[in-house]
Amino acid sequence: MNQPTIIKVSGLSKIYKNDSVETVALRNITFEVKKGEFVAIMGPSGSGKSTLMHILGALDVPTSGEYILDGENVGVLSEDDLATIRNKKIGFIFQSFNLLPRTTALKNVMLPMAYAGVDKNVREIKAKKYLIMVGLEDRMEHTSNQLSGGQQQRVAIARALANDPAIILADEPTGNIASDQAEEIMKIFQKLNAEGRTIILITHEPDIAHFAKRVIIIKDGNIVEDRLNGKKKI
Amino acid sequence: MKLIEIIIESISTLGLNKMRTGLAALGIIIGIGSVIALVSIGQGSQKAVEAQIQSLGANLLTVMPGSQRSGNVRTASGNTTLTLEDAKAIMSSSQITTVKNVSPEFSRRFQIIAGGNNTNTQVYGVYPEYAQIRKVNIASGVFISQTDVDSMSRVAVLGPTAATNLFGEGTDPVGQTIRINKQSFRVVGVTESKGGSGFNNQDDIIFAPLSTVQKQLAGVDYLSTIAVEAKSQDVMTEAQNQVGYLLLERHKLTDPTTADFSIMSQSDILNTASQVTGTFTTLLSGIAAISLLVGGIGIMNIMLVTVTERTREIGLRKALGAKRKTIITQFLVESVILTFFGGLIGMVFGITISMILSKLLSFPSAISMSSVLLAVSVSGVIGIVFGWYPAQRASKLAPIEALRYE
């Protein structure tokens, strides 16, 4: 692969201090992700994969070590700069969808573009394009509580694409979805990956990790395995 | 994100929760409403008092007796220093050029009997000039005449309340006889109503010739007041000085500070009354301001609840790239919209109340533009002040914690 490196993590550690007790969540983690990769980060609960996801998502900063996302050293940024990074370079997909309640699918997808200062007409055109891409052309004016779990997650995917981010960060995206719909969601991810988008998937389910091209397994804050998925399912 | 978009979004957010929005705004509605209503009642009553004092006679100076001073000792024997001769001198002296009319007056309360009715009423001994200076109009019959005064005749003119008290509603007392302090008087007239109520009823009054009241009823030769009408509003101060120096001279006093009388002009009385009603207005505004403060705290309360309830939403917005400033603006705009529209509704509410009250209590309605503008801008400020803390709290939420919040 001659693609440019999009994520560069070196010597990353995260230590939580609670009163005088120190909890080490990540120990000296180093890895790289190149543009166009589809990586699943796996691990049992308490392994540190959520902490890693928060740091990769610029929601949290590491205690030590370096995290460079698309050429930007995230570890040294201010709160407002982190907000800008999240807005422009990261597309979040959460386990519990996290759509704005009682707000239409279209408006939900437009929200990150509003924060980015995109012109209102452009926002609507782009939001519609992404909603069509995830197969929700007839659900644009539905509010989030009128949609099924799978549909809500597809709105969330469209929202993640809104600002054309450097990476898509999906945290247990199928955790709250019926299994037949889960596969559809995963196929959308594969399709996006095939279009050249970089996707990081956090999951504890091997079935779901199977859709990715590369698997990183974390245990007790360490990377214990980093391998390519042999069989590709498309 | 542009401010106008935040405003539009805030309005739709507030619209999604109509019940809570309504309850939050209610405090401000009542607060602003009561500020406007109470201030207009205060100012209305101020105007009413002023109008009433004006109706007592324009360009009026009132000379009142005071106690005599000898050296630094003020003797207690006062209130007998003015005489009819003083009043006549004011009218006829060549030093006095600015006085139009003088009314010597003596008043005291007496027991009045007419038929079976018995009442205690203020009896005024007057000259005919009284009616002109004090703006008394006759409803039926005639007022006290100069002949009545000169011949010390036993005639009386009744105020409408006194007439009703003595003779009942709807009967004309003219020609009837009343007994003042056991002496019989013939009623020759009834005056028109001048208004006033309670302890200050200008209608519960009986007029009789000054000479009759002084000599036959009270047995005194002094006056309780001399009312002086100046030629115009512009010469009030001059008239006050002229009358003052004449009386000092007549009373053989040289130093104005030792004067055994005082002269009040209508504007002095007006100022005193305005001060009293001004204090009243301030008091009412204070009460209203407290309710406004309570309304503001209500807004803060609701906004804090909202912040807690929407923790996940705030976390999500931050994850999607909302900066602290954007979150603060969003919550501030929401609370300002609440208070601003609450203020507008409260304004309508307050104006309605004060108009109803001015109808019911027959006050002149006094809704000043300044109090309305002040109230509405204050409500906007309240939104910022009381919205600030919740907005700060919302903006400080860490996105991970907020997203995990159940």
Spans of all domains in chain A = 37-47+76-217+224-228
User: Which of A78, A111, A121, A176 is most worth mutating to test chain B (most B CB atoms within 10 A of its CB)?
Assistant: A111
Q: For position B195, what pLDDT does the model report?
A: 67
pLDDT, residue B78, reads 58
Q: Within a domain: residue B266? A: no
Asked if B320's CB is within 8 angstroms of A159's CB, the reply is yes
Asked if residue B150 has pLDDT above 90, the reply is yes
Predicted pLDDT at A234? 42
Q: Report DSSP state, residue B222.
A: B
Average pLDDT over residues B24-32: 87
- Contacting residues of B for A161, CB less than 8 Å apart: none
CA atoms within 13 A on the CB side of B95: 16
Q: Is this complex scored with an ipTM above 0.85?
A: yes
Residue B70 has pLDDT above 80, yes or no: no
- Give the per-residue pLDDT at B71: 52
Q: pLDDT tens digits for B319-366? A: 999 999 999 999 999 999 988 889 899 989 988 988 888 888 777 767
Across the interface, do A98 and B312 touch by the CB < 8 Å criterion?
yes
Q: Are residues B87 and B231 in the same domain?
A: yes
Distance CA A15, CA A221 (A): 10
- A31 touches B: beta carbon within 8 Å: no
Count up the domains in chain B and report the number.
Answer: 2
Which A residues in the span 38-77 are in contact with B, Cβ-Cβ below 8 Å?
54, 57, 59-60
Residue at B234 is within a domain: yes
Question: What pLDDT score was predicted for residue A230?
Answer: 66
CA dist B67 and B79 (Å) reads 6
Q: How far apart are CA B48 and CA B59, in angstroms?
A: 19
Q: Does the residue B60 lie in any domain?
A: no
Kindly state whether A115 is in contact with chain B, defined as any CB-CB distance less than 8 angstroms: yes
Whether B144 and B29 map to the same domain: the answer is: no
CA proximity to B163, closest of B204, B124, B122, B134: B204
Residue B335's nearest CA partner among B300, B307, B310 is B300
The reply to whether B114 and B25 lie within a common domain is no
* B313 has a chain A CB within 8 A of its CB: yes
Give chain B's end-to-end CA distance (angstroms, integer). Answer: 27
Q: Do B16 and A102 touch (CB under 8 A)?
A: yes
- Mutation for testing the B interface, residue in A14, A59, A85 having most B CBs under 10 Å: A59
Residues 166-185 of A with CB under 8 A from B: none
Residues 6+ apart with CB under 8 A from A179: none
Helices (H), B119-255: 129-133, 146-150, 160-167, 210-211, 236-250
Mind listing the pLDDT tens digit for each residue in A148-173?
999 999 999 999 999 999 999 999 99
Question: What are the residue ranges in chain A where pLDDT is below 50?
Answer: 232-234
Is the pLDDT at B76 greater than 90? The verdict is no
In the predicted model, is pLDDT for residue B54 greater than 80?
no
**CB contacts < 8 A (A, B):** 57
B206 token code pair? 């009986």
Q: Which of B225, B259, B293 is the last residue of a domain?
A: B259
Neighbouring CB atoms inside 10 A of B388's CB total 16
B321 to A57: CB separation less than 8 angstroms, yes or no? no
Q: Which among B312, B313, B320 is the nearest to A112, CB-wise?
A: B320
Q: Is the pLDDT of residue B67 over 80?
A: no
Sort out which chain A residues have CB atoms less than 8 A from B318's CB and list them.
Answer: 83, 86
Which residue, B181, B126, B198, is CA-closest to B157?
Answer: B126
Q: Which domain holds residue B213?
A: 67-259
DSSP readout, A43-107? Answer: --TTSSHHHHHHHHTTSS--SEEEEEETTEEGGG--HHHHHHHHHHHEEEE-TT--PPTT-BHHH
Residues B14, B134, single domain; the answer is no
Looking at the DSSP bridge assignments, the partners of residue B263 are: B63
Q: Looking at the domain assignment, is residue B18 inside a domain?
A: yes
Q: Are residues B232 and B116 in the same domain?
A: yes
Task: Give Cα B5 to chain centroid, integer Å.
Answer: 48
Final residue before a domain boundary, out of B259, B289, B304: B259
The reported pLDDT for the residue numbered B196 is 58
**Closest residue, chain B, to A115 (C-alpha):** B1
Tell me what the mean pLDDT of segment B398-402 comes to. Answer: 85
Of all residues in chain B, the one with the smallest CA distance to A111 is: B320
Give the one of B16, B321, B403 whose C-beta lies nearest to A87's C-beta. Answer: B321
Contact across the interface for A115 and B325, Cβ inside 8 Å? no
What ranges in B113-252 are assigned the alpha helix state H? 129-133, 146-150, 160-167, 210-211, 236-250
How distant, in Å, are the alpha carbons of A18, B231, B318 from that of B325?
29, 69, 11
Q: Are residues B41 and B79 in the same domain?
A: no
Contact between chains at B16 and A114 (C-beta distance less than 8 A): no
Residues B71 and B188 occupy one common structural domain? yes
User: From A90, which residue of chain B is nearest by alpha-carbon distance?
Assistant: B320
Provide the mean pLDDT of chain B: 85
Does residue B58 lie in a domain region? no
From the list A84, A114, A159, the residue facing B1 with the nearest CB is A114
Query: CA-CA distance, A156 to B159, in Å (whole number)?
Result: 86
Mean predicted confidence (pLDDT) in B203-214 = 92
Last residue of a domain, one of B259, B294, B318: B259
Give me the pLDDT at residue B326, please: 92
Return the CATH number of A37-47+76-217+224-228, one of 3.40.30.10, 3.20.20.140, 3.65.10.10, 3.40.50.300: 3.40.50.300
Residue B142 structure tokens: 């005639």
The three-state secondary structure class of B228 is: strand
Residues of B in contact with A60 (CB under 8 A): 400
Q: Does B17 touch chain A (CB under 8 A)?
A: no
**Residue contact A92–B5, C-beta within 8 A:** no
Residue B79 is assigned to a structural domain of this protein: yes
Q: Does B323 touch chain A (CB under 8 A)?
A: yes
Q: Examine the domain organization and report whether B123 and B244 are in the same domain.
A: yes
The per-residue pLDDT for B111 is 92
Q: Which residues in chain A touch residue B319, judged by CB atoms under 8 angstroms apart?
A: 57, 59, 86, 92, 98
Closest CA of chain B from A208, distance in Å = 23
Chain A closest-CA separation from residue B390 CA (Å) = 19
**Closest of B123, B108, B56, B38 to residue B273, by C-alpha:** B56
Domain match, B230 and B129 both:
yes
Give the mutation candidate from B316, B320, B396 for the A interface (greatest A CB count, under 10 A).
B320
The pLDDT, as a whole number, for residue B188 is: 94
Other C-beta atoms lying within 10 Å of the C-beta of residue B305:
13
